[in-house]
Every structure is written in C-alpha cells, then in structure tokens.
Structure 1
Amino acid sequence: MGALAALFALRYLGGGHLAAALLVFVGPPLLLMALVLRGSARAAFWSGVGGLLWFSHGVMDAWSLPEARLLAVLEVALALAVIAAASWRGLSARFRRRRG
C-alpha cells in the first residue's frame, strides 16, 4: 500500500490541490498500511475494499485518459496486489488441506 500511496503522490500532488490529494489519495492507503502492520484485521478488510475502489479508478483512468495510461495500469497492478494481500489469510484458511 505504500507503493500505491507513492504512486498517488506522484500523480496528484503536483496539480495544485495539495490538501485534497493528501486527504483523498495519499492519506487513506498510508493509514490503512499502518493499521495493517499493527495487526488490525478490520484494517485488512478495508484495505481490500479500498483495493477494489483503486482498481476501478485505475481501469477508468486507463480507459479514458490515454496520457495517464501507464500510471493507471500501474495503479491497477498495485490494487490487485493489495486485494491479494488482504485476502490471502482467508483464502489460505479456506483452501488449506485438512489432516487426519
């Protein structure tokens, strides 16, 4: 999520709307990352939900803004990594082989 926050900072902080970029794009991934690193299961869930939003945003930008396509595809890839990381614990428990 730190990489996603860095991508958002690179993309949106130069636009003259510093407070909005920090509150909307950079702050939430950093806050969720800090809470996940402290072991919060609820933050892991909300990271997955945020990952779905970031995925949708990246697809929309890749489709509609040709000049931002590279950063949008990178956003999609990072969002998929966040979703996979947030879901990993539950998926591994679900598909773990039962012994005995």
Structure 2
Amino acid sequence: MSARWPGPRLPLAAALAALAALFAVRYLGGGHLAAAILVFVGPPLLLMTLVLRGSARAAFWSGVGGLLWFSHGVMDAWSLPQARLLAGIEIALALAVIAAASWPGLSTRFARRR
C-alpha cells in the first residue's frame, strides 16, 4: 500500500484530466485508436484516478510524466508548425502537472522555520 499524498489533489487531477482531453482531441481521430489510447490518453487518466485516491506514487509519476509531456510539447512546437497551438497548450498543462505534483515538497523546503 502506498503512502497518502499530502498535497492538494484537485489541481493535479484537473491538469491531468485536461492533458488527457487535449490528447484525445489531438490523437483519437488519426486512425491508430488503440495506440492513441494506450500511449497518450490512458496514462494521464490512470494517474488522475490514482491521484484522486491519494496515491503518493501516482503524484510522483505524474511529475515524471509531466517532464516527458513537456519535452513532447516542445518537440512538436519546434517541428510541426501546424501544431504549435496545441503543443503550446500541452507545454502549459505539463508545467501545471509538474508544479502541482511538486507543490508539497517545495512548500516544505521553503517553509519558514520557527
């Protein structure tokens, strides 16, 4: 059983849900339905479900996934001019996932000492 995550669950879950929705809009119409679900839409939805249940491991892996999604968004923004808007949204959502997943550690690290 994993530890309970002390951070705010809703902002992280909302960012993951928005990222899954963005991927659904972007990739589900392409003809590779199973691959789009397994690679792009499924992981953020699974992590969102686990984060809402309070899993600290899911919050950690959301942050790691956020780094991958950020890199993917930057790559698409540079290489696909027609996809720059969606890539920019992906970058912003990935940064939101990273920030929300890191918030408990950052707030502890920079808390005022008494």
Asked if Structure 1 and Structure 2 have the same fold, meaning a TM-score greater than 0.5 normalized by the shorter chain, the answer is: yes
- Structure 1 distance, partners of 2:51, 2:108, is 18
Aligned to 2:3: none
From 23, 28, 48, the counterpart of 2:63 = 48
**Which amino acid is 1:36 matched to?**
V
TM-score (norm 2): 0.86
- Structure 2 distance, partners of 1:43, 1:93, is 19
State how many pairs are aligned: 99
1:30: how far off?
0.4
1:47: how far off?
0.2
1:98: how far off?
1.3
**Which amino acid is 1:62 matched to?**
A
Greater helix fraction, Structure 1 or Structure 2: 1
From 23, 43, 57, the counterpart of 1:8 = 23
1:81 corresponds to 2:96: yes
- Structure 2 distance, partners of 1:90, 1:65, is 35
Q: Secondary structure at the match of 2:54?
A: coil
- Structure 2 distance, partners of 1:23, 1:8, is 11
1:18 corresponds to 2:10: no
Q: Could you tell me the percent identity over the aligned residues? A: 88
Aligned structure 1 segments of 4 or more residues deviating by more than 6 angstroms: none
Instruction: Report the aligned-residue RMSD.
Output: 0.4
Aligned to 2:105: 90
- Structure 2 distance, partners of 1:94, 1:2, is 28
Deviations 1:19-51 (A, max 9, x none): 000000000000001111111111100000000
